[in-house]
Chains A and B, each alone.
Chain A
């Protein structure tokens, strides 16, 4: 039973990170029906900016959780800026183009950003300073859940509550939901659709940046390539849960996290990825709209 619980918690931690990144995919897809392939790269850029800030701080002798918060804030600012610019350059000129065009543009952007960071920084793995202290009160349970896991779980939980509030309660959130329902209608009632789309990218990128910094401080290293696999997995999570649906992204992230964790724990980690993608294919065949997604009838 202990073993099960350990795997469950491991999957929960991993899944909550997937969920954070998946939210960005799902929100963007909900509004402009585009797989923002470069989203994983935004996550990586977030982690890298966090590393740079945290690195400078530790080199100049600062440390502790306040540095982590500072790094996270910087990561959010820059990742959002990248997300915003990404949309403006690579997707906005392609609105109304055939569906394949923005998708290819997104893949191109993903390759570009990866190599941009590779060239501007380094191909090596850089250590991320250990900024999360071992909390005293965690000591009795450190056996299966450590302080970093706790920080990840609490942060993602709080972030998701804030996001839900933003979408459900504020005017901006209403405008976002309206745009998601029907873009031309939203435009008619005076919503600045372009701004809402930009905002969606900014919010999605900020979430990815939080995920990036959390993961970086959890596993303690960053390089230019971490965005690819994380992005693919998070997108898988978004599709699993039902792309376009916010609770779906969270659920999808957790389901994927648990699948991988249990598969590795009870079967074999050799085929971890095979399980993840196998699950995706299975879900898409049985329930093409995902677990929580609504079948969206195309208007004929």
Chain B
């Protein structure tokens, strides 16, 4: 098998908050078709890492490079989050951030914003092109809802969805931005085993059917071990291990980190 195309390349990423180093020269790569995972105990700096990659924080040091297929490489450091998303990198949030007073369908429609173009004047005039674009937005969004199994609740308020469904809605919304790399921040947090199983399948399905590479943060090792490869492990802001699930399982530092946490809890 030929070398897979490298999509995201993070080199020596460091993020300081005042005197505190939340992420300490972490490097990581995601290739086409992969479901990569970033795991680690609470407070290891995973979410900060995500925030740096998606432009919410501007990293102190290091490079974040995006290699879209067929397009020149882009450095993401310091880019605004919306630019990052436009580039084809979408994310979900650890503590769900839906637009709670909008309907489920509208939430996904927001994801289409950066792929559509109607401006103020055209929205007022509402010419044929705009009407067609609106139709396309509704259409695509509805299809995405179907894909994540939320078509039935399209007209409900997002805040009224059950927890698991809200997580899936976040994924659908992110997918509406047409990413080639999807970053999921603890997608299984707070789910029961049944829901987690469904989510497993959904993630695999997205990866296969949509040709979207996935980088996910997970706290729960089990989910990760089933579906991801490679896995990166962080602790106290540093990367302590990387490799296949098997390698990670046997890695002494990982065992230490997780055992230590286990006794804490």
- A residues touching B (Cβ–Cβ < 8 Å)? 294, 297, 299-300
Contact = CB atoms under 8 A, between A and B. Distances in A.
DSSP class of B's interface residues: helix, strand, loop or mixed?
loop
A145 to B, nearest CB: 41
A294 B57 CA distance: 16
Among A294, A297, A299, A300, the most chain B Cβ lie within 10 Å of the Cβ of: A300
A294 B18 contact: yes
B47 A300 contact: yes
B47 A297 contact: no
Interface residues of B, number: 10
Interface of B: 17-18, 47, 51, 56-57, 93-95, 97
9 contacts: A294-B18, A297-B17, A297-B57, A299-B95, A300-B47, A300-B51, A300-B56, A300-B93, A300-B97
Contacts of A297: 17, 57
- Max chain B Cβ within 10 angstroms of own Cβ: one of A294, A297, A299: A297
Nearest to A98: B101
A297 B17 CA distance: 9
Q: Classify the interface of chain A: helix, strand, loop or mixed.
A: loop
Contacts of A294: 18
Contacts of B47: 300
Contacts of B17: 297
A282 B146 CA distance: 49
A294 B95 CA distance: 24
Contacts of B93: 300
Contacts of A299: 95
A81 B96 CA distance: 39
Given A297-B17, A299-B95, 8 more contacts: A294-B18, A297-B57, A300-B47, A300-B51, A300-B56, A300-B93, A300-B94, A300-B97
A294 B17 CA distance: 11
A297 to B, nearest CB: 7
B237 to A, nearest CB: 15
Nearest to B93: A300
Closest 4 interchain pairs by CB? A300-B51, A300-B56, A300-B93, A297-B17
A297 B56 CA distance: 10
Contacts of B94: 300
Nearest to A298: B56
B257 to A, nearest CB: 23
Nearest to A294: B18
A297 B52 CA distance: 13
